[in-house]
């Protein structure tokens, strides 16, 4: 290698090193990726339980219709939120990307960890479950049915920040992004987002944007619908949406938290028609590296039963993720609660038995649930 070649290689090495140093850190959080993969599996299992409950509830029960002939807000009843914090959410509460490059915290207001931009009203009978979710990437409300031939009906409701008028991406799929006028939703402006690439448009969920009574733009993504229903069903679901921030009461709270702990995920799923089943799950990030999940679901009545302690490494589920250790669960007051570490950390400030003692169940009666979760 002559002197010029050597100088060029040195300059190139310095350039590459400088570019790598300037590059932002990866936004991919391996622990959260595992958590979301396991959540997908849990939703598949959940649909089976919902189907069983739907059969039981169909005997001697029916959906209560509100004014206008539609069902009342699906899933969680509009229970009084006594004691919940007042005031508005941060401007980025409904963001679609992470709050920072290093933090995976969800929007938190006071002691509340789960606030969604709106609720579903009318839903078709094919929907069995309603779920409210808050993650570092944003918050949403989801309604979905049971799996049929590896597919299911699904509606995903999100909202744009107040005062923001969304644009249509210039490139969608292999074609141009298109805005196609839709029938007004409750007399207000609405349109479809699609692509000039016909094959892409046919194979993707339909996307409807509409302005709510509060002036905020909402987005409803629909999938798993028969071709004949791809327009009419989303329009009817959108017309039944109850706009405005909603903080569902949760069946659990925490008595204390270790230092440097944030909430990474919060979710509540509930039968779309009827009072059961339900499940709440919270994930905490401790010291930036240790992930702990708390799950609460219907369980046994009576006083709490003690936990025998960890029974060892729990076996994997169908997707290879660790199951909850029965030794790290307790039950009582009609509920069962468990803790699990998604990503063990040797220097974590708290052990799993300690985390279990922090969980405060609120019972199976939804009137005793509260939006105040954090200590």
pLDDT digits (tens, 9 = 90+) for 64-87: 222 233 322 232 222 223 333 323
Do the beta carbons of residue 337 and residue 359 sit within 8 Å? yes
Residues 6 or more apart whose CB falls under 8 angstroms from that of 185 comprise: 208, 210, 211, 235, 238, 239
Cα–Cα distance measured from residue 250 to residue 295, given in angstroms and rounded to the nearest whole number: 11
Six token digits for residue 26:
């990866």
Residue 146, pLDDT score:
87
Q: Is the pLDDT of residue 97 over 50?
A: no
Residue 34, pLDDT score:
41
Residue 316, pLDDT score:
61
Residue 250, pLDDT score:
96
Strand partners, 54: none
Strand partners, 253: 360
Taking only the tens place, the pLDDT of each residue in 282-339 is 999 988 878 899 999 998 765 555 555 555 556 665 545 567 888 899 998 899 999 9
Confidence of residue 181 (pLDDT cuts 50, 70, 90): very high
Residues 6 or more apart whose CB falls under 8 angstroms from that of 182 comprise: 190, 191, 192, 208, 210, 231, 235
Do the beta carbons of residue 72 and residue 362 sit within 8 Å? no
pTM: 0.69
Residue 324, pLDDT score:
80
Residue 273, pLDDT score:
83
Cα–Cα distance measured from residue 306 to residue 289, given in angstroms and rounded to the nearest whole number: 29
Cα–Cα distance measured from residue 189 to residue 277, given in angstroms and rounded to the nearest whole number: 36
Do the beta carbons of residue 277 and residue 297 sit within 8 Å? yes
Least confident of 29-43, 133-147, 264-278, 335-349: 29-43
């Amino acid at each position: 290698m002559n002197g010029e070649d050597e100088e060029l290689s040195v300059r190139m090495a310095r350039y590459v090193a400088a570019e790598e140093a300037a590059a932002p850190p990866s936004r991919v959080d391996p622990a959260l990726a595992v958590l979301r993969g396991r959540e997908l599996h849990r939703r598949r299992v959940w649909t089976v339980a919902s189907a069983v409950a739907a059969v039981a509830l169909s005997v001697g029960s029916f959906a209560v219709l509100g004014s206008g002939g539609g069902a009342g807000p699906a899933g969680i009843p509009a229970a009084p939120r006594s004691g919940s914090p007042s005031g508005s959410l941060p401007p980025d509460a409904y963001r679609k990307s992470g709050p920072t490059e290093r933090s995976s915290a969800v929007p938190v207001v006071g002691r509340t960890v789960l606030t969604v931009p709106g609720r579903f009203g009318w839903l078709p009978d094919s929907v069995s479950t309603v779920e409210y979710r808050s993650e570092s990437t944003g918050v949403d409300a989801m309604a979905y049915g049971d799996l049929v031939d590896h597919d299911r009906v699904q509606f995903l409701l999100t909202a744009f920040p107040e005062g923001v008028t969304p644009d249509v991406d210039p490139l969608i799929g292999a074609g141009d992004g298109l805005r196609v006028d839709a029938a007004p939703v409750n007399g207000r402006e609405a349109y479809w987002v699609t692509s000039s690439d016909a094959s892409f448009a046919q194979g993707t969920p339909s996307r409807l944007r509409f302005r709510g009574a509060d002036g905020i733009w909402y987005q409803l993504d629909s999938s798993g619908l028969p071709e004949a229903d791809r327009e009419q069903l989303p329009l009817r679901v959108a017309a039944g949406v109850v706009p405005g921030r909603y903080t569902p009461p949760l069946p659990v709270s925490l008595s204390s938290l270790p230092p440097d702990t944030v909430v990474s995920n919060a979710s509540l799923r509930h039968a779309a028609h009827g009072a059961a089943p339900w499940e709440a799950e919270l994930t905490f990030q401790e010291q930036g590296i240790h992930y702990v999940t708390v799950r609460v679901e219907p369980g046994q009545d009576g006083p709490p039963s003690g936990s025998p302690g960890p029974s060892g490494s729990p076996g994997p589920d169908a997707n290879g993720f660790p199951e909850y250790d029965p030794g790290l669960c307790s039950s009582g007051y009609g509920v069962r609660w468990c803790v699990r570490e998604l990503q063990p950390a040797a220097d974590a400030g708290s052990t799993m038995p300690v985390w279990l003692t922090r969980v405060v169940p609120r019972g199976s009666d939804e009137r005793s649930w509260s939006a105040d979760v954090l200590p």
